[in-house]
């Protein structure tokens, strides 16, 4: 009997020893708690994996505020965006939905051992850039050569950088106190100071804020530069024929926009209608082109001076365009040649030398002389010497022109050969010389015979 009691006591002691061995195995974390960088509005969760938890409990705590968020799967906080899940084994998850700025901080997964065991993870919430509407982006007005300041205040995490540029891609002109200017495409900084502003610098400026967190945001600032009207006329004198339409133009620069009008030089205001067509085309923020089309020009009524006038709150300007009549010549075939048929032979050149009479018995010389005369006459019909030439006027007409036509006379070229009567005189001289030689030989022969 005593032996049985001893055996039972030994068994109890063994069981107690084994229980103490089990209790001595403490909970352990199998993986560190992760860190998160998340954009505002997204969802995120922390994962805590614990082995040998036994009777201990897992709790979630926000370290910076010492607030207990949850114990096991029971939520302590009343924040509806927070929740806890357990997979039934060794994994717990803390879920944060629609992350906000105040969710940033350190989160702790803790086991209630003695001493307590825990691990921590950090969450950084990034916020896309935003621009505060401290001042209106409209109505930024200055007089020409005045100053204007543009300010763009941005928020976001991390702090955004602000860059200025022109919406049209143009340059930004910066001037210091000495009016030295620096021309740049972009300018970095929350405040953009524009000094000595010219009309070319008016337009839309963009403030662009970025911090690496999409989306980048921008704001438009409309800068107006006011000045009185200025009118520029490219063609101050315009010519057009009657019964045609003609368009005259003026370029106007003004800010604020001016009221533009057309007048005749006598002061009569022109109104749109069947006779006049008036149009305007905007070329940029401060420049317009005025067009006036006059329909079916009439000779006396429509020619003269036309006045383009422009007026705004700062002043007015005028310019005159003169419209004159052009007479068109009749169009002809280009390159056609017309000859003056009224030609007549003038008197021949008078020479001091006398012509020798042809002798009837000298047939050969006579024929040769006739041939030479004919050839020379054919080549020298237009021989020019004072008033003695056979004149033919040639008029070369091109196509029609808006200018008065004129005749172009082609001068005749002087012949390179001698005139026929000069040739004839030379033949006569040779004949006389030959006859004199023959006569001298006959006389000499007769003298010797005697």
Average pLDDT (60-89) is 94
The interaxial angle of helices 363-379 and 420-449, nearest 10 deg, is 160
Is 292 found in the same domain as 273? Answer: yes
Same domain (yes/no): 137, 115: no
- Confidence check: pLDDT of 19 > 60: no
Distance from C-alpha of 329 to C-alpha of 307, rounded to nearest angstrom: 30
146 and 106 within one domain? no
Tell me which of 409 and 56 has the higher pLDDT.
Answer: 56
Task: Please tell me whether residue 421 adopts helix, strand or coil conformation.
Answer: helix
Q: Provide Rg for the chain, Cα atoms.
A: 57
Give the rounded percent of residues in the chain with a pLDDT score beyond 70. 69
Residue closest to 61 by CA, chosen among 126, 100, 124, 117: 117
Please check whether residues 63 and 83 belong to one and the same domain: yes
**Does residue 20 have a pLDDT over 70?**
no
Question: Which residue, of 169, 199, 226, is where some domain finishes?
Answer: 226
Which of 211-225, 349-363, 398-412, 436-450 is most confident?
211-225
118 close to 89: Cβ distance less than 8 angstroms:
no
Q: What is the pLDDT of residue 300?
A: 81
Residue that is written with structure tokens 């607030």 in the block: 67
How many CB atoms are located within 10 Å of the residue 36 CB?
19
pLDDT at residue 273 tops 80: yes
pLDDT of residue 391: 33
Q: What is the DSSP letter of 190?
A: S
Cis peptide before 334 (omega within 30 of 0): no
Q: Residues 427-433: contacts with CB within 8 Å, 24+ apart?
A: 427/356, 427/365, 427/368, 427/369, 427/372, 428/355, 428/356, 429/356, 431/356, 431/359, 431/362, 431/365, 432/356
pLDDT at 61 over 90: yes
Q: Which helix (H) or strand (E) holds 444?
A: helix 420-449
Which band of pLDDT confidence, cut at 50, 70 and 90, is reported for residue 163?
very high
Query: Domain span at residue 203?
Result: 133-226
- Per the model's pLDDT, the better-predicted residue between 341 and 329 turns out to be 329
Q: Is the pLDDT of residue 50 over 90?
A: yes
pLDDT score at 386: 39
Least confident of 244-258, 266-280, 376-390: 376-390
320 is a domain residue: yes
In a domain, 442, yes or no: no
More confident residue, 404 or 48: 48
Q: For residue 310, is pLDDT > 50?
A: yes
Residue 105 lies in a domain: yes
User: Final residue of a domain: which of 226, 246, 271?
Assistant: 226
pLDDT confidence tier of residue 437, bands split at 50, 70 and 90: confident
List pLDDT tens digits, range 356-410.
Answer: 344 443 444 444 444 444 444 444 444 333 343 333 323 223 333 333 344 444 4
Number of domains in the chain: 3
Considering 6-15, 157-166, 359-368, the range whose residues carry the highest mean pLDDT is 157-166
Kindly provide the residue ranges of all beta strands, DSSP E only, lying in 158-303, ordered along the sequence: 161-166, 172-175, 181-184, 187-188, 191-194, 203-210, 217-232, 237-240, 246-255, 259-264, 276-282, 287-294
* CATH number (domain holding residue 172): 2.60.40.10
Q: Reply yes or no on whether the pLDDT at 309 is more than 80.
A: yes
- Residue that terminates a domain, selected from 91, 126, 161: 126
- Is 18 among the domain residues? no
Q: Is it the case that residue 236 has pLDDT exceeding 90?
A: yes
Q: How far apart are CA 187 and CA 165, in angstroms?
A: 7
Q: What is the pLDDT, as a whole number, of residue 261?
A: 97
Could you tell me if 296 and 255 lie in one domain? yes
Contacts of 225 (CB under 8 A, 6+ apart): 141, 142, 143, 144, 146, 197, 198, 199, 201, 202, 255, 286
> Rounded CA gap, 16 and 10, in Å?
10
Percent of the chain beyond pLDDT 90?
A: 60
Question: Residue 266 domain-assigned?
Answer: yes
Q: Are residues 33 and 118 in the same domain?
A: yes
pTM summary value: 0.60
Work out the average pLDDT over 55-62: 95
pLDDT given for residue 444 in this prediction: 72
pLDDT tens digits for range 344-355: 444 444 544 444
Asked if residue 46 is part of any domain, the answer here is yes
What is the C-alpha to C-alpha distance for residues 424 and 294, in angstroms, rounded to an integer? 72
Average pLDDT (246-260) is: 97
Q: Give the pLDDT of residue 331.
A: 60
135 confidence band (pLDDT: 50, 70, 90)? low
Closest CA to 96 of 157, 158, 33, 47: 47
Q: Does residue 366 belong to any structural domain of this protein?
A: no
Please tell me the least confidently modeled range out of 115-124, 132-141, 249-258, 277-286.
132-141
The whole-number pLDDT of residue 393 equals 28
Predicted confidence (pLDDT) at residue 242 exceeds the cutoff of 50: yes
299 pLDDT tier (thresholds 50, 70, 90):
confident
Q: What is the mean pLDDT of residues 227-243?
A: 95
**Statement to judge: residues 119 and 160 lie in one domain:** no
Q: Are residues 200 and 177 in the same domain?
A: yes
Residue 431 forms part of a structural domain: no
- Span 283-303, average pLDDT: 93
- Assigned token pair, 204: 């839309």
Q: Are residues 107 and 142 in the same domain?
A: no
Q: Are residues 245 and 214 in the same domain?
A: no
- Say if residue 411 is preceded by a cis peptide, omega within 30 of 0: no
Q: Are residues 35 and 122 in the same domain?
A: yes
Note the pLDDT of residue 429. Answer: 58
Same domain, 157 and 196: yes
pLDDT at 256: 95
Note the Cα 324 to chain centre separation in Å.
Answer: 36
Q: How far is CA 23 from CA 17, 52, 57, 157, 416, in A?
A: 10, 10, 15, 48, 142
| Residue given tokens 């709150």 in the structure block | 313
């Amino acid at each position: 009997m005593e032996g049985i009691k001893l055996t039972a006591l030994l068994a109890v002691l063994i069981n107690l020893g084994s229980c103490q061995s089990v209790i001595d195995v403490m909970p352990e974390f199998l993986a560190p708690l992760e860190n998160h960088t998340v954009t505002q509005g997204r969802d995120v969760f922390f994962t805590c994996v614990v082995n040998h938890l036994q009777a201990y409990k897992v709790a979630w705590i926000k370290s910076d505020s010492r607030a207990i968020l949850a114990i096991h799967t029971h939520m302590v906080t009343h924040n509806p965006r927070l929740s806890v899940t357990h997979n039934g084994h060794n994994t717990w998850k803390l879920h944060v939905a629609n992350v906000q700025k105040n969710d940033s901080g350190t989160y702790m997964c803790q086991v209630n051992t003695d001493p307590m065991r825990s691990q921590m993870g950090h969450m950084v919430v990034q916020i896309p850039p935003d621009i505060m509407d401290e001042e209106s982006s409209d109505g930024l007005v200055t007089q020409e050569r005045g100053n204007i300041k543009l300010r763009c205040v941005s928020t976001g995490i991390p702090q955004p950088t602000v860059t200025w540029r022109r919406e049209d891609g143009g340059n930004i002109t910066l001037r210091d106190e000495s009016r030295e200017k620096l021309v740049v495409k972009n300018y970095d900084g929350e405040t953009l100071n524009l000094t000595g502003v010219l009309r070319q610098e008016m337009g839309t400026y963009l403030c662009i804020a970025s911090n690496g967190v999409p989306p980048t945001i921008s704001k438009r600032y409309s800068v107006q530069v006011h000045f009185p009207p200025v009118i520029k006329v490219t063609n101050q004198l315009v010519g057009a024929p009657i019964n045609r339409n003609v368009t005259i133009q003026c370029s106007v620069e003004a800010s604020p926009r001016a009221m533009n009008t057309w007048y005749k030089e006598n002061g009569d205001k022109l109104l749109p209608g069947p006779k006049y067509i008036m149009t305007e085309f905007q070329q940029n923020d401060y420049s317009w082109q005025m067009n006036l089309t006059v329909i079916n020009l009439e000779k006396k009524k429509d020619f003269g001076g036309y006045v383009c006038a422009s007026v705004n709150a700062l002043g007015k300007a005028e310019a005159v365009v003169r419209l004159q009549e052009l007479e068109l010549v009749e169009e002809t075939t280009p390159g056609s040649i017309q000859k003056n048929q009224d030609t007549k032979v003038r008197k021949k050149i008078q020479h001091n030398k006398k012509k020798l009479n042809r002798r009837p018995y000298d047939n050969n010389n006579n024929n040769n002389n006739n041939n030479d005369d004919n050839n020379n006459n054919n080549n020298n019909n237009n021989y020019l010497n004072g008033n003695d030439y056979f004149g033919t006027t040639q008029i070369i007409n091109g196509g029609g022109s808006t200018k008065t036509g004129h005749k172009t006379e082609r001068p005749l070229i002087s012949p390179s050969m001698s005139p026929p009567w000069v040739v004839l005189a030379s033949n006569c001289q040779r004949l006389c010389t030959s006859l004199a030689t023959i006569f001298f030989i006959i006389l000499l022969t007769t003298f010797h015979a005697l």
